[in-house]
Amino acid sequence: MANRDSIHRFLFENFPVRGEIVHLDATWQAVLERFDYPPHIRTVLGELMAATALLASTLKFSGMLTVQLQGKGPLHLLVVQCSNRMALRGLARWNGDVPVGTLSAMTGDGRLAITVESPEEGHRYQGIVPLEGETIADCLQNYFRDSVQLPTRLWTATGAQGASGMLLQRLPQQPGQSNVESDDWNRVQILADTITADELQNLADEVILRRLFNEDDIRLFESAPVSFRCGCSRERVERMLRGLGREEVESILEDEGKVEVRCEFCNKAEDFDRVDAIQLFEGEGPPPPAGKLH
């Protein structure tokens, strides 16, 4: 099947519910190419990537959305970032054998932190909810319930080829719309619950909507592209090494012969040899005296 890296917004015409459908194909493959994840970890990471793209599409921001799950269990970290241009990256970290089971069995107790940074506007927002639920969708739904106070449902599916997701969100009532919104909201959720993982991943969005909501008037907007992009760069690594300090960098050079910094998201390595290190700290005065005691 062709790569469909896109997010597609839709609206119910007669009551205030909106939706989004996302497909990550090449985006998801780009994550898998860089790290070898066990299948069950791959599944939750794919779900989190789809869910993060859906969450980003419901927010207004001009920077970076970061969704981070931190647990006390073997799967202790999942991070996905999505820019306002829908460029995504993600990673998972675990120790030892991660049991195959529900999300809570894998991650243990923990928290879900959602951070939105809009550096140009100087805004930073963070919402934290306990890590509760069987799936990534449950966790995010808890976040919407507790922090956003807009009833929201999510469905996700991850396979070898791609990660897909669908979101429905009940919006505040608009003038002129029916006031049986609560009934409609319940009805569209029941209909949406009938979608299978296979349908969500493989059917065209128009077909999904027609199958699920064939009695409703739906406005489907133009889809927007989604992509993989890692924002790492040599300049950023240089800034980080300067922050670490000359002494520390010298000491790594002494031990290792070079300083290698590997990006956790895209696995790209930046190497710094002795000459690079000298250039890094140029203009900072003489190096520390040799033989200094630590």
CB of 264 or CB of 276, closer to Zn ion: 264
Structure tokens at 171: 């919006």
Q: Which residue has the tokens 């807009």?
A: 150
CB of 78 or CB of 230, closer to Zn ion: 230
Is residue 131 within the footprint of Zn ion (CB under 5 A)?
Answer: no
CB 100, min distance to Zn ion, A: 29
CB 114, min distance to Zn ion, A: 21
CB 51, min distance to Zn ion, A: 21
As to burial, measured by CB atoms within 10 angstroms (0-12 exposed, 13-18 middle, 19+ buried), residue 187 is middle
Asked if 118 and 108 count as a contact pair (C-beta separation under 8 A), the reply is no
Q: Is 197 left (phi over 0), alpha (psi -120 to 50) or beta?
A: alpha
CB of 103 or CB of 259, closer to Zn ion: 259
Which residues, numbered 236-265, are part of the site for Zn ion (CB under 5 A)?
A: 263, 265
CB 89, min distance to Zn ion, A: 7
With CB under 5 A as the contact rule, the residue among 131, 266, 277, 280 that binds Zn ion is 266
- List of E strands, 84-159: 87-94, 110-118, 123-130, 152-158
Contact letters for Zn ion, residues 220-239 (x by CB under 5 A): ----------x-x-------
CB 12, min distance to Zn ion, A: 39
CB 66, min distance to Zn ion, A: 14
Structure tokens at 154: 């999510």
CB of 172 or CB of 243, closer to Zn ion: 243
Distance CA 15, CA 146 (A): 23
Distance CA 289, CA 291 (A): 7
CB 233, min distance to Zn ion, A: 8
CB of 10 or CB of 228, closer to Zn ion: 228
Residues 6+ apart with CB under 8 A from 154: 51, 54, 136, 137, 140, 141, 165, 166, 167
Report how many residues bind Zn ion under the rule CB under 5 A. Answer: 5
Q: Which residues of 258-284 are buried (b: 16+ CB within 10 A; e: fewer)?
A: ebebebebbeeebebeeebbeebbeee
Q: What is the DSSP letter of 106?
A: H
List interacting residues with Zn ion (CB under 5 A).
230, 232, 263, 265-266
